[in-house]
Amino acid sequence: MPIGFGLVGCGMIASFHVRAIEDLRGAKVVALFDSFPASAERLAKSIPGVAVYSDYGEFLKHPGLDIVNVCTPSGAHMEVAVKAANAKKHVVVEKPLEITLKRCDKIIEACKKNKVKLATILPSRFSGANMALKKAIDSGRFGKLTLGDTYVKWWRSQEYYDSGGWRGTWALDGGGAYMNQAIHNVDLLYWLMGDVAEVSGITDRLAHERIEVEDTGVATVRFKNGALGVLEATTSAYPGLLKKTEIHGTTGTAIVEQDDILLWDFAKSTKKDDTIRETYAKKAGNTGGASDPSAISYAGHLAQLKDFIKAIKTNGTPVIDGREGRKSVEIILAIYKSSHTGRRVQLPLKSDPRLPR
């Protein structure tokens, strides 16, 4: 029997899940649910034999449903994820895990209680260039880490925010350029550099109307290992640039733009360095969503879902489980708190900050 996936929320991102699942051996999409039935019916046209439900309880009872992929707006993840866990289904949640720590914790606790697996979709870690970078850091090639910076300078039109009533709201988007777009690189940076000790941030809405959240932000970071860093996030930089991560240490520097290595330089070279430069210097040809949210590759989703299935079969832990997914939310909430209070914020946060909602 193939592993059965069911999708909750059938908007744009759900199509990337479908394409990834179609490329998974021994897996198939068996059921769809959306609170707007027309969205589910539209997606179903591309999936032969899939069942469409307008009742979530009936969806969870679908024969052969093993994994529920939550693709709803960010602030609507918790309710459906907890119900799926309570129905003994494994749960995959699109980023962010949720928009508050309390809501993240309820998902994590429900999955733990019901002994089901949980993953948060943050596919940038599965890029070949980023995995090579992580390996180099872990093997000590950078010496003492000193700076870790990441930049997500994207563009979103006003039409993008106007296209859905939930976009740009605190209640359902949970934030703006940081929570919705740059969260991938927030996750990537702490994964590479280590946990964050404190942040200082400034956010603002500079280019868009009719949204509650930030479209521009800058934050400085002190990591627990003493290194410093910068996290820039915007949807106000026309025409939209490729995201970039820069890692510096006392014996090495690497710069990754999108999935390409621009610089790979160490005090002590190895035989593999030239191969790494050659392998990851080839332009993939996609913008990674810099100006068009639909212009992303589903390869990262595919790799992450493969990892999730492996965790289920071996009773292991997914690379990005609930607790890993929670960390990027916590860092972003700390940036928001710093921006609203004008003060540095220490991590871990003791509770959810009071933000406009």
Are 167 and 276 members of one domain? yes
The tokens describing 244, both together, are: 């970039």
The tens-digit pLDDT sequence of the chain (357 residues) is 899 999 999 999 999 999 999 999 999 999 999 999 999 999 999 999 999 999 999 999 999 999 999 999 999 999 999 999 999 999 999 999 999 999 999 999 999 999 999 999 999 999 999 999 999 999 999 999 999 999 999 999 999 999 888 899 999 999 999 999 999 999 999 999 999 999 999 999 999 999 999 999 999 999 999 999 999 999 999 999 999 999 999 999 999 999 999 999 999 999 999 999 999 987 655 567 888 887 788 999 999 999 999 999 999 999 999 999 999 999 999 999 999 999 999 999 999 999 876
Are 145 and 250 members of one domain? yes
Residue 346 lies in a domain: no
**Is residue 48 within 8 Å of residue 82, measured between CB atoms?**
no
Are 134 and 164 members of one domain? yes
Q: CA torsion sign, 38 to 59 to 100 to 178?
A: negative
Are 204 and 138 members of one domain? yes
Residue 178 lies in a domain: yes
Cβ within 8 Å of residue 309, ≥6 positions away = 3, 24, 27
Q: Which helix (H) or strand (E) holds 304?
A: helix 299-314
Are 101 and 143 members of one domain? no
Parent domain of 111: 3-124+299-320
What DSSP string describes 163-208? TSTTTT-TTTT-SSIIIIIIHHHHHHHHHHH--EEEEEEEEE--S-
Are 132 and 232 members of one domain? yes
Report pLDDT for 78.
98
Are 166 and 314 members of one domain? no
At 229 the three-state DSSP class reads strand
* Residues composing the chain: 357
Are 336 and 254 members of one domain? yes
**Is residue 7 within 8 Å of residue 17, measured between CB atoms?**
yes
Residue 84 lies in a domain: yes
Residue 347 lies in a domain: no
In angstroms, the CA 138 to CA 39 distance is 44
Check which CATH number belongs to the domain holding 113 and give it.
3.40.50.720
In angstroms, the CA 16 to CA 252 distance is 36
Residue 354 lies in a domain: no
> Which single residue is written with the structure tokens 């928001």?
336
Residue 349 lies in a domain: no
Residue 352 lies in a domain: no
Check which CATH number belongs to the domain holding 160 and give it.
3.30.360.10
Half-sphere exposure of residue 257: CA atoms within 13 angstroms, side-chain side: 14
- The 8 Å CB, 24+ separation contacts for 206-210 are 206/236, 207/235, 207/236, 208/156, 208/158, 208/161, 208/168, 208/235, 208/236, 209/158, 210/158, 210/161, 210/162, 210/168
Are 154 and 241 members of one domain? yes
**C-alpha of 285 from chain center:** 21
The tokens describing 179, both together, are: 């929570």
Residue 119 lies in a domain: yes
Please state, in angstroms and as integers, the Cα–Cα distance from residue 248 to each residue in 142, 153, 273, 304, following that order. Answer: 7, 20, 16, 27
Q: How many structural domains is the chain composed of?
A: 2
Are 142 and 235 members of one domain? yes
At 283 the three-state DSSP class reads coil
Are 120 and 138 members of one domain? no
